[in-house]
């Protein structure tokens, strides 16, 4: 990998650049900033071709490199940047694959026009802007989070070191050394009795009175969402959903081909008058809601509002799907009972959650509690979907909840992440100055939410994030109608606190250069 950048030039060009290459560039000065940018980023682990690619892509996005602008030949640009020609060739190749540049017939390349069709391998035509259209920005930012040298504010679950995964791992090993043969067989679709029994004290701690036979063990909380959507929705049915909302909910609604009725989320959840109006006018088949530390905003619906929502659900005979991903991670205030625990909730509410957001990341095991009227159909659908969830993981979780001091673990986890949330929130509010007031400080959870101007350019936001080496999740990740909500989720579950200061500096610089008024920013940003 190249790691040397030489800015020494003669009349704007490196000495080793031949006279025949000069005609490919009108002004060598336009590349001076890029040279300096690569020098500043010399310690990043990201390969140089990627940094060249992203630097050029950023300039195209911001308009510094306009459509039809002629670019240097690979050899000429390699000479200017003092890089190996293979490095520049690979950067150009990936820019071409993204539809950002196109080859000239006589050699060299030029900046492509937005929306101009191009031919990809396989003969499909695509809009060059589609590669970085708003829905694609979200996946690109998550890809960026895995790149070397990037500080990622994307992990909305605890790190392995902070979680109880080591304790679970020891329990799993002990289980395998004993009578493990009992797990190598098929079990009922509802789950192993030992786990459903072991979960009763855990549920009781959340105010949920359940019978073992009303609990369906699922392959993560996502399968619970999917089962209920399959059960209650058919193509064209209306469904009430929060705006913004968890992208896993978006996926199941789209898969069901249902018609979403998106209701904006405020600090107290969706407006209940709007819910009542939607129930009366559209007669939806389902209400989907995440009332505690809502993903992505972190808002918590008050208890009185929860009771009103359950009453409305019973009045209009419309069931509620409650996604309750991490109620234990409360740092301030008093716990609020789930919708399922409200008066009338047992008849109206499907309650689902997984164990990966709090206990063991990646375990992909959870449960669904269904109203009695729907239980038989849920079990039948579960059997059709995958017959059963993994027996060995169920056995290990049963031992975990029956034999370990999980309440003490939760107390430790809350203390750890309370400190992280406070440190990150303080750093962001200091760095963003007056705009820091727009950052939510939820009473719990593993993320913060920063509201942005409605006209914020997510395309430019992405390219600035690439150039600064920081990742986050944009609002379009959480929207059934991209462009209707503007903001970013700043999750800190997996982020090393030692990286908070540098990460905040990078994030603040991205926001300053993209969406927040320069005059409102403080000198804390660099």
* Distance of alpha carbon 464 from alpha carbon 513, whole angstroms: 8
User: Tokens standing for 357?
Assistant: 């957001």
CATH architecture of the domain covering 135-161+408-520 = Alpha-Beta Complex (3.90)
Taking 50 as the threshold, does the pLDDT of residue 405 lie above it?
yes
State the sign of the Cα–Cα–Cα–Cα dihedral 52, 53, 58, 61: positive
Residues 286-313 as b or e (16 or more Cβ within 10 Å = b): bbbbbbbbbbbbbbbbebebbbbbbebb
For residues 209 and 337, give the distance between their C-alpha atoms in angstroms, rounded to a whole number.
12
DSSP helix/strand/coil, 471: strand
Cis before 296? omega within 30: yes
What pLDDT does 21 receive?
Answer: 44
Q: Cα-flanking dihedrals φ and ψ of residue 352, to 5°?
A: -135, 145
- For the chain, give the number of residues: 526
The per-residue pLDDT of the chain, averaged, comes to 84
Distance CA 372, CA 437 (A): 45
How much is the pLDDT for 78? 84
Which tokens go with 457?
Answer: 């350019």
Residue 61 pLDDT: 64
CATH 1.10.3720.10 fits 19-129, yes or no: no
Calpha distance 461→511 (Å, rounded): 8
CB 288 within 8 A of CB 245: yes
3-class secondary structure, 70: strand
pLDDT of residue 320: 98
Q: Which two tokens stand for residue 154?
A: 């994307």
pLDDT at 116 over 60: no
What DSSP state is assigned to residue 146? Answer: T
3-class secondary structure, 454: coil
Looking up tokens 């829905």 gives 135
Statement: residue 125 has pLDDT above 70: no
Residue 467 has pLDDT above 80, yes or no: yes
Quick: pLDDT tens for 308-324. 999 999 999 999 999 99
Q: Is the pLDDT of residue 17 over 50?
A: no
Give the chain's end-to-end CA distance (angstroms, integer).
29
Going by C-alpha positions, the residue among 406, 109, 350, 413 that lies closest to residue 216 is: 350
390 sits in the region (left: phi over 0; alpha: psi -120 to 50; else beta) called beta
* Residue 29: band (very low, low, confident or very high) from pLDDT cuts 50, 70, 90: low
Q: What angle do CA 494, 495, 499 make, to 5 degrees?
A: 165
Instruction: State the DSSP string of 25-62.
Output: -S-GGGGHHHHHHHHHTTT-SS-HHHHHHHHHHHHHHH
User: 329 with 417: CB under 8 angstroms?
Assistant: yes
Q: Is 70 exceeded by the pLDDT of residue 119?
A: no
Write the DSSP assignment of 204-269 as a string of letters: HTTT----GGGEEEESHHHHHHHHHHHHH--TT-EEEEEES--HHHHHHHHHTT-EEEEEEEETTE
How far apart, in Å, are the Cα atoms of 191 and each of 141, 203, 322? 37, 16, 20
pLDDT over 50 at 391, yes or no = yes
- Tens digits of per-residue pLDDT, 261-270? 999 999 999 9
**Minimal CA–CA distance to 357: which of 310, 311, 413, 309?**
413
pLDDT at 13: 36
DSSP state, residue 444: B
Residue ranges covered by each domain of the chain: 19-129, 135-161+408-520, 165-403
> Band of the pLDDT at 28, cuts 50, 70, 90?
low
Residue 103 has pLDDT above 60, yes or no: yes
The domain 165-403 is placed in CATH, from the list 3.10.129.10, 3.40.640.10, 3.90.1150.10, 3.40.50.720, at: 3.40.640.10
**Sequential DSSP letters for 155-178:** --S--TTTSSHHHHHHHHHHHHHS
**Region 63-87 average pLDDT:** 83
Instruction: Tell me which of 30 and 249 has the higher pLDDT.
Output: 249
């Amino acid at each position: 990998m190249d790691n040397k950048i030489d800015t020494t030039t003669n009349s704007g060009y490196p000495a080793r650049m031949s006279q025949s290459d000069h005609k490919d560039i009108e002004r060598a000065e336009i590349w001076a900033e890029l040279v300096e940018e690569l020098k500043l980023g010399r310690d990043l682990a990201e390969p140089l071709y990627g940094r060249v690619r992203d630097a050029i892509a950023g300039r195209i996005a911001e308009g510094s490199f306009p459509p039809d602008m002629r670019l240097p030949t690979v050899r000429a640009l390699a000479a200017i940047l003092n890089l190996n020609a293979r490095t520049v060739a690979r950067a150009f190749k990936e820019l071409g694959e993204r539809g950002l540049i196109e080859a000239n017939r006589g050699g060299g390349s030029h900046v492509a026009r937005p929306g101009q069709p191009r031919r990809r391998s396989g003969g499909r035509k695509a809009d060059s802007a589609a590669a970085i259209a708003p829905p694609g920005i979200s996946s690109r930012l998550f890809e960026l989070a895995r790149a070397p040298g990037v500080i990622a504010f994307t992990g909305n679950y605890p790190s392995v070191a902070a979680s109880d995964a080591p304790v679970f791992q020891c329990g799993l090993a002990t289980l395998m050394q004993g009578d493990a043969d009992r797990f190598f067989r098929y079990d009922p679709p509802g789950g192993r009795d030992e786990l459903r029994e072991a979960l009763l004290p855990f549920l009781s701690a959340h105010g949920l009175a359940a019978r073992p036979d009303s609990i369906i063990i699922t392959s993560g909380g996502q399968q619970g969402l999917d089962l209920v959507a399959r059960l209650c929705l058919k193509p064209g049915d209306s469904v009430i959903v929060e705006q913004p909302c968890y992208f896993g909910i978006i996926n199941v609604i789209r898969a069901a081909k249902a018609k979403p009725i998106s209701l904006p989320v405020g600090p107290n959840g969706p407006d209940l008058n709007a819910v009542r109006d939607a129930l009366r006018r559209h007669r939806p088949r389902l209400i989907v809601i995440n009332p505690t530390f809502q993903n992505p905003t972190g808002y918590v619906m008050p208890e009185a509002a929860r009771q009103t929502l359950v009453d409305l659900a019973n009045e209009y005979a419309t069931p509620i799907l409650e996604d309750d991903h991490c109620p234990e991670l409360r740092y301030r205030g008093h716990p609020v009972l789930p919708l399922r625990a409200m008066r009338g909730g047992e008849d109206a509410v499907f309650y689902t959650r997984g164990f990966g957001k709090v206990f063991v990341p990646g375990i992909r095991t959870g449960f669904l509690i269904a109203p009695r009227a729907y239980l038989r159909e849920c079990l039948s659908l579960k059997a059709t979907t995958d017959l059963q969830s993994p027996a060995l993981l169920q056995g290990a979780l049963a031992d975990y909840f029956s034999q370990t001091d999980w309440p003490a673990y939760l107390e430790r986890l809350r203390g750890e992440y309370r400190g992280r949330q406070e440190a990150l929130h303080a750093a962001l509010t200091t760095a963003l100055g007056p705009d820091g007031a727009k950052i939510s400080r939820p009473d719990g959870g593993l993320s913060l939410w920063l509201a942005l101007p409605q006209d914020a350019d997510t395309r430019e936001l992405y390219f600035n994030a690439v150039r600064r080496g920081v990742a986050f999740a944009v609002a379009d990740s959480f929207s059934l109608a991209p462009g209707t909500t503007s903001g970013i989720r700043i999750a800190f579950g997996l982020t090393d606190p030692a990286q908070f200061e540098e990460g905040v500096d990078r994030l603040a610089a991205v926001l300053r250069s993209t969406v927040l008024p320069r005059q409102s920013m403080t000198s804390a940003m660099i």
